[in-house]
Amino acid sequence: MAVDKEGGNVSIWHKTSSEQDNETRETKKVKDKENKLPKAKDQKFFSRCSEMPLVCLSDFEAYAKKHLPKATWDYFAAGADDSCTRDDNLRAFKRIRLRPRMLRDVSVIDTKTTILGTEISFPVGIAPTGFHRLAWPNGEKSTAKGLLVAELLFLLVDVRLPTPAAEAMDICYIASTYATCSMEETVAAAPAGFRWFQLYIHQKRSASVQLVRRAEALGFRAVVLTVDVPYSGKRRDDIRNHFHLPQHMSVKNLEGVFEDQDRSEYGLPANSMESRLGWEDIGWLQRLTRLPIVLKGILTKEDAELAMRHGVQGIIVSNHGGRQLDGVPASIDALVEIKETVQDKVEVYLDGGVRTGTDVLKALALGAKCVFIGRPALWGLTYKNYWKGHVKYCEIY
C-alpha cells in the first residue's frame, strides 16, 4: 500500500522587511532579559502566530527555517559533506511500504511500552541535540519540561493522551553533553522527568568521569555513549558561516574544563574528543557507573555483536542525523540486520529521519523498541520563541 503524504496547505504569515529589522533589534535587547514577557505591540503578531495551522512536523520545520538566523538554521540542519546520508534518512522511510490487515478491532489503542524497565506512554523519545538556547532562551530547561515537545509528539503519532505534559507522560529525554543549560538546571526545571544522559568521552578523561558521576547523582537513569564521533564531521555550511556559539552561551556541562584553550569549535577545543576510544572503554565505563549503558551510533551487525558481547543494555541505531560520516546507511535500513543479530538480548532503538506516525510504525515493525527524534524538538522550541506565553498548552511557562 502506498503511504499518503501528510500535510496540506499551510497558512503562514510573512513578515515585512521592516518587521524583520524590528525583530532583530528586539532580539538583541532580550538577550539578558530572557524571561521577560512580550510587549503589548507584539500581541497582534503573537495572535496571528497562534492561529497558524501547523499540523505536522514538516510545518514546524518550515517555520523554523523561516525565522531562525541563517547560521543557526544551517547548524541545526547540517549534514556532513554532501548530506547524502542526512537526506537518505528521510527517503529510506518513504521506500518502505505497509501491508495492512483489515477487519481488526482497533477500538482500544494502547501505545505504552517499556524501555530499560521504565514504562513510557508511547514509543517516541527526544534524541540528544546540542545548543537548545539557540532556538529558545530557556533552552534545554524548556525541553525537559516538555509541553511543546509533547504537542509535537502528538502531531507525530496522531494520538491524544490524557495529559499534555512530557514530564507526566514519562517521555524519555536524552540530555546532551553539549547542552547550553547544565544538567543540574535541566533536572531542576523538571524534577520528575525521565532522563538519560548522552556522553561524549573526551581526551581529558577526568571531565567525562565527572559528567557521569553528576548524571548518576542527579537521577539520570542511563548513560548513552555516543560512539560515532572520534572527530567532528565536516559540515560545510558551518565552515562557510564560521559558526560559533554566541558569547553569552557556553557548553554548560563543561564550563571551567577547557578555560585556557581555544574553544572556537562548537564551544570546545578542536579535536577534544577521545579518538582512541575502543571496545575496552566499555568496561572502563561500566566500572565507573552502575547505570545501564546504551551505545548510540551502531550501524552494522558486526558492531551490534560486539556491543552485545561487551554487556551493554541498549543500542541506538543511528548515523548521527547524517552529521558525521556521509555515505553510511540510513538508520532504518541498518535496523533490520542489527535486530536480527541481537534478537531480544539487547534493546534496540532508532533515531534519524522519523517525521510521521507511520515512520514510527515502520521502525517498530522492523524491530525498534522506541524511536527518538532530534531536530523536530529544536523546530518546536523555535516556534515557541515567537509566541511566548500565548499557547494554551504551554501554560507552565
Amino acid occupying residue 88: D
| Residue indicated by cell numbers 507525530 | 156
Strands 113-115, 314-317: pairing kind: unpaired
Active site residue 248: no
Pairing of strands 118-120, 172-175: unpaired
Query: What is the distance between the alpha carbons of residues 16 and 12, in angstroms, rounded to a whole number?
Result: 13
What is the rounded radius of gyration, in angstroms, for the C-alpha atoms of the chain?
21
Residue listed under C-alpha cell 510504525: 361
Give whole-number Cα distances, 344 to 123, 151, 306, 368, in Å. 17, 31, 15, 11
Q: Which three cell numbers mark 351?
A: 533515531
In sequence order, the 6+-apart residues with CB closer than 8 A to the CB of 42 are none
Q: Is 24 exposed, middle or buried (0-12, 13-18, 19+ CB in 10 A)?
A: exposed
Question: Which of 132, 310, 320, 390 is an active site residue?
Answer: 320
Q: Which residues are identified as catalytic?
A: 320
